[in-house]
Amino acid sequence: MQFYLTNVELREAAGTFKAYFPLRMKQILEQADHSCGGQFKLPYTMAAGEWINHGLRPDWLFNPTEDLEYTWILNRHWHLRELGIAYLLTDDERYVEAYKRHITSWIEQNPKPASLTYEQMVYFQRPGPWRLLEVGLRVQSWVWGYMLMSHSALMDGDFEKKWRDSLAEQATFLSRYLGETSINHATMHMQGLFMVGTFLADHAEAPYWRQLAQERLTLCLHDQIRVDGIQNELTPHYHTASLDMFGTPFLLAKQTGHPFPNSYLQKLKSMVAFSIATIRPDGKAVALSDSDSGAHVRAKVGFIGAICEDEAICQQGEISEDLLWLLGSEKFVYWTERMGGTEKEIRSTVAFPDSGYYVMQDAQQYVFFDAAPLGGAHGHADALHFEWMHRGRLIFGDSGRYTYQEGEWRRYFKGTSAHNTITVDGQDQTPYLSTQQWGEPEATVELHRWLSCEAYDFIDASHHGYARLSEPVAHRRWLLMGRSLPFLLVVDELDGVGTHEIEQMFHLSDKARVMDWSYRIDGGLEASISYEEELGKTSSCRMYWAGSAGAQASLAAKEGWRSDHYGTKKVIPVIAYRQSFTQRAVIATLCLPESETNESKAWQVTLLKVNEMEGRTEIQILLTGSVDSQVAIMVDQRGVSIEEN
């Protein structure tokens, strides 16, 4: 049987696993013991933190939540791979018995649906185990579990025949009902089909399964990956997951004599730059759109570097257990020694103009700016939103995704008010219809300017989501990140018809405290944010607002929510700037971070002013230092000027 490794090589890898991953070994054994009893704790569900009992012969349709994801993820059978690893580590036949019991009970409970039309088969969202996505992932779990425990004497002929027949039936199902190649689901369908076609090499249809899967995986890669290397759903979580989706069949094909073309390899490697750019200085990932902020991205980068045998990519990555089970002990040790060089610490500004993402960064700061399209069902109504970190501290962050379950929480986390941008009259930029569907018209974004130099990074973009209002409004935003003097300037211009209420939001860290806010003599507003003292991190941030002439504005601290992982959320403070306007408004927001070693602590804002003349907006800032030094900053339609004296 052809696979990534033989069973003998997998057994050798178990010893290496014990040496390199002792904590993970304990976790797998605990999870496998629960699985033997029919108890599952399913990630990416609304019961992610609970052990749910499904019985010794599990009920594969039992769902204790109202979240369809629970049933779907349960029927992906991810736990079978962990049962196999547990067996390699212990030789405990209980794990093999559980594997066989779970496979047999699933086959008995879940016959292939026969009465649905072709379109229903391809697109149906029923809470059942035969959705194409679940089939594509489940067959991989079955094969992995089998290979990890195929040396067991309990793997008898009767079970193997039943197992093979069902595996072939599921592969035939995947080959006859083909999903849309522009979304990540189709990649996982064909990832599973290619594995079965490779593993069951002696099956009469295996050559067809392999050929179909390779052709469609190549088409998926072509259709989904944009010219700047970003997966077209524009969601960091799914982009990085796609490294696995495309990478594992690439490796299996190479190791079994059915390689993909070189163009596939080059396209796969082009995806790495964006994954690296989404890694914040704290090691977590940007949680934009339907993303979590887990710290797994460097492991995926290291995976691509190793399977593509590219040391430059490996230097940007980290070691993971997946490499061991895919490459074996010898290659695992070889690539481990080449992982994580000093190059990965070099942070520089990078733009992805085809997709619309801009990452401004240096040794102290990290800004991720969203000037991208919505991105489909996984997108959020977050045009012109951004995240900002300074000296390891998250100042303004994304709220995450929390859930796919229809309801008020899904609507909240996808909505404009959950992001660091502006709402007009309390409306979303794009109308929300349901958990996986947006209304029309979709908010479109236009880039006007992008400037990057030693002194600053600057972006100027607008969106037209509020043009649909009976009295339309256009929102344009400038964002300026200073380098030698760390600061962030956000300028929002709103032009429209009639009178409107706007709210500008800044979602803070859960460790932040809004100390106070006040009105300045010149009519502007200011606020102070403090954080727990942590060595080397930003300790506070001062914010200042100035509006166009006659603006009547107010500040409020309100409750918001952030989700770092699916199914969990926590309360965070949100600063909201509120103002009504007729026809036009300009808001300039200046943010000055402070820490023990940060020179900006000495700077005072002497002037923050919005000037409007002859249809041109000009922002003037004057900062005065403790030793009579000054910094003058001016931003307008012609450019940016920063002068120090």
Q: What is the mean pLDDT of the chain?
A: 94
* b/e map 159-189, b = 16+ CB within 10 Å: eeeebbebbbebbbbbbebbbebebbbbbbb
Closest CA to 487 of 604, 382, 575, 574: 604
Report the pLDDT value the prediction gives residue 306, as an integer from 0 to 100.
96
The alpha-helical segments, DSSP class H, found in 354-441 are: 408-414
How far from chain centre, in Å, is Cα 623? 37
Contact 413, 402 (CB under 8 A): yes
Four-point Cα dihedral 404, 389, 271, 328, nearest 10: -90
DSSP notation for 66-99: S-HHHHHHHTTTTHHHHHHHHHHHH--HHHHHHH
pLDDT of 539 above 60: yes
Percent of the chain with pLDDT over 70: 97
Closest CA to 269 of 234, 317, 237, 233: 317
* Nearest-angstrom CA–CA distance, 201 and 8: 19
Torsion angles phi and psi, residue 270, rounded to 5: -70, -15
Contacts 24+ apart (CB under 8 A), 156-160: 159/100, 159/103, 159/104
Interval 258-269: pLDDT, tens: 999 999 999 999
Place of tokens 């520089």: 348
Report the pLDDT value the prediction gives residue 454, as an integer from 0 to 100.
94
Q: Which residues pair with 516 in a beta bridge?
A: 528
Distances 109 to 60, 145, 203 between C-alpha atoms, Å: 8, 20, 25
Query: What does DSSP assign to residue 494?
Result: E
Place of tokens 């000054």: 630
Report the pLDDT value the prediction gives residue 162, as an integer from 0 to 100.
97
SS3 (DSSP) at 477: strand
Residue 341 pLDDT level (bands cut at 50, 70, 90) = low
SS3 (DSSP) at 628: coil
How far from chain centre, in Å, is Cα 644? 39
* Nearest-angstrom CA–CA distance, 341 and 344: 6
Residue 26 corresponds to which tokens in the numbers above? 């304990």
* Nearest-angstrom CA–CA distance, 132 and 558: 42
Report the pLDDT value the prediction gives residue 608, as an integer from 0 to 100.
95
Residue 299 corresponds to which tokens in the numbers above? 């492991």
Contact 108, 161 (CB under 8 A): no
- For the chain, state the CA radius of gyration: 27
Residue 124 pLDDT level (bands cut at 50, 70, 90) = low
Report the pLDDT value the prediction gives residue 600, as an integer from 0 to 100.
47
Residue 458 corresponds to which tokens in the numbers above? 């600057």
Interval 18-46: pLDDT, tens: 999 999 999 999 999 999 999 999 999 99
Report the pLDDT value the prediction gives residue 563, as an integer from 0 to 100.
97
pLDDT of 412 above 70: yes
